[in-house]
Amino acid sequence: MVDSLPNIAIVELTSPSMATLAPPVPHPLGLRDLNRLRVIESIYRHPGCSRADIARRTGLSRGTVSTVAEELGRAHLIHEHDAPDDPLRPRSTGRPPTLLSLVPGTAFAIGVDIGHRHIRVTVCDLAGEPVAEKWSRVNVDDAPSETLDLAHQLAQQALNEAAVTPGQLLGAGIGLAAPIDQRTGEVKANGILPGWHGVAPASEMQDRLGISVQLANDADMGALGEKVFGAGRAVDDMIYIRLSAGVGAGLILGGQPYRGGYGMAGEIGHVCVQPRGQICRCGNRGCLETVASPVAVTRLLEHVVERPMTPDQLLDLVAAGDRGACRAVADAGEAVGMVVSWIVNVLNPELVVIGGELAAGGDVLLDPIRASIDRHSLPGAAADVQVTAGVLGDRAEVLGAAALILAQSPLALAERVRS
């Protein structure tokens, strides 16, 4: 699952009480240490590879690769297995090579997704497979302490359920529905997550969990989740659009997450699309979020059905082909497509992945997004970009948050063998 994992910087926050597997403080590596790290990284990025594959990808000799693999086997970090049967493989080529993979249960990462109205927690093994997941509906916007306490409780429940010990943990990643100042780790959003302005959630969660914690914007984590595990695995330049209670974008450029100079890249939910439109929670007027969040779209139908509606009910109407519901979702798609067309002209992405609840609208949403990109982008850039729904659904953000931590596993495992 992790063959295209981007390189991500090592965690900044390190607790003195941290578990043995936590990312180590960087220090000079000897040649043997570097060789070990390169072999582990190669196996991590290409699970089920042969010794010859590793030698080719790392430039190390077959002998060095075999020596390091033997050492990793003795440390129970890797296991050998046969290649799956391939009916196209000629019988005359002899026995297929033995393949190497990391032992998935060697280490684990916690992913946490904190939206405006929910918390989702997952514990993933080294292969990125969730071994326990917890979810709770909660009003996040004005209650940072209560939210972080609940996230801690859910994480503990998931760890207990999966029988994962603190010593097996690499750390925890959090995706939060607000802009994060990467210089300070603080939430920088008076209106967007009102009670959280100035709060440093990574530091707060680190105190609760006792392990290293990294924090990022939730759309950035959705982008990483789809890049590592989902629709974006084969591309290097993609935009992930989250159409949820908050609207935002996560960028993957040149195979790497891009967060801008201070961590606030991708805030397309607060780009103006209707200069005389509704006042947004950010204080501006006519932001994309006021016309394309599921709540905003649902509100358009309430005066027709003459009762309060939920976004789930809106999507049920869309699935049933209700004309008004389809029109409301299509108009939201047109607005999203116009904003995406500006990004398409500037960044020339290969892929646009639509996530968040509204993505369940399918082609009723996606076709107007495509048409709007075609209409407003340069023809060459518009012709090259694919628009698709995410394949991870509402788990993109939490899996991306776990992937943020799993990316550090080769260095942590190499350090474990070294020590």
Applying CB under 5 A, the residues found at the interface with Zn ion are 270, 280, 282, 284, 287
- Angle of helix 144-162 versus helix 201-209 axis, rounded to 10: 40
Q: Find, among 176, 180, 131, the residue nearest to 151 by Cα.
A: 176
Nearer to Zn ion, 113 or 267 (CB): 267
The two tokens of residue 276 are: 């005389």
Provide, rounded to whole angstroms, the least separation between the CB of residue 368 and Zn ion: 21
Nearer to Zn ion, 65 or 339 (CB): 339
Q: What is the C-alpha to C-alpha distance for residues 304 and 291, in angstroms, rounded to an integer?
A: 17
Provide, rounded to whole angstroms, the least separation between the CB of residue 264 and Zn ion: 13
Sign of the Cα torsion 346, 347, 351, 352 reads negative
The two tokens of residue 124 are: 């993933």
Provide, rounded to whole angstroms, the least separation between the CB of residue 287 and Zn ion: 3
Q: What is the C-alpha to C-alpha distance for residues 122 and 132, in angstroms, rounded to an integer?
A: 6
In sequence order, the β-bridge partners of residue 194 are none
Residue 15, helix vs strand vs coil: coil
The two tokens of residue 233 are: 């695995």
- Strand 78-81 and strand 49-50: pairing? unpaired
Provide, rounded to whole angstroms, the least separation between the CB of residue 138 and Zn ion: 23
Nearer to Zn ion, 221 or 292 (CB): 292
Name the residue type at position 251: L
Provide, rounded to whole angstroms, the least separation between the CB of residue 176 and Zn ion: 17
Tokens 């016309």 belong to which residue?
291
Provide, rounded to whole angstroms, the least separation between the CB of residue 116 and Zn ion: 14
Report whether 77 contacts 36 (CB < 8 A): no
Provide, rounded to whole angstroms, the least separation between the CB of residue 262 and Zn ion: 18
Q: What is the C-alpha to C-alpha distance for residues 272 and 270, in angstroms, rounded to an integer?
A: 6
Nearer to Zn ion, 136 or 274 (CB): 274
Provide, rounded to whole angstroms, the least separation between the CB of residue 312 and Zn ion: 24
Provide, rounded to whole angstroms, the least separation between the CB of residue 181 and Zn ion: 18
The two tokens of residue 302 are: 């309430």
Nearer to Zn ion, 259 or 270 (CB): 270
In sequence order, the β-bridge partners of residue 250 are 240
Nearer to Zn ion, 20 or 190 (CB): 190
Nearer to Zn ion, 287 or 364 (CB): 287
| Cα dihedral 129/130/131/136 (nearest 10) | 180
In this structure, what are the phi and psi dihedrals at residue 71, rounded to the nearest 5 degrees? -65, -45
Q: What is the phi-psi region of residue 308: left when phi exceeds 0, alpha when psi lies from -120 to 50, beta otherwise?
A: beta
Nearer to Zn ion, 264 or 417 (CB): 264
Provide, rounded to whole angstroms, the least separation between the CB of residue 384 and Zn ion: 30
Q: What is the C-alpha to C-alpha distance for residues 212 and 207, in angstroms, rounded to an integer?
A: 9
- Angle of helix 396-406 versus helix 218-229 axis, rounded to 10: 80
Nearer to Zn ion, 112 or 287 (CB): 287
Nearer to Zn ion, 36 or 270 (CB): 270
Q: What is the C-alpha to C-alpha distance for residues 258 and 142, in angstroms, rounded to an integer?
A: 28
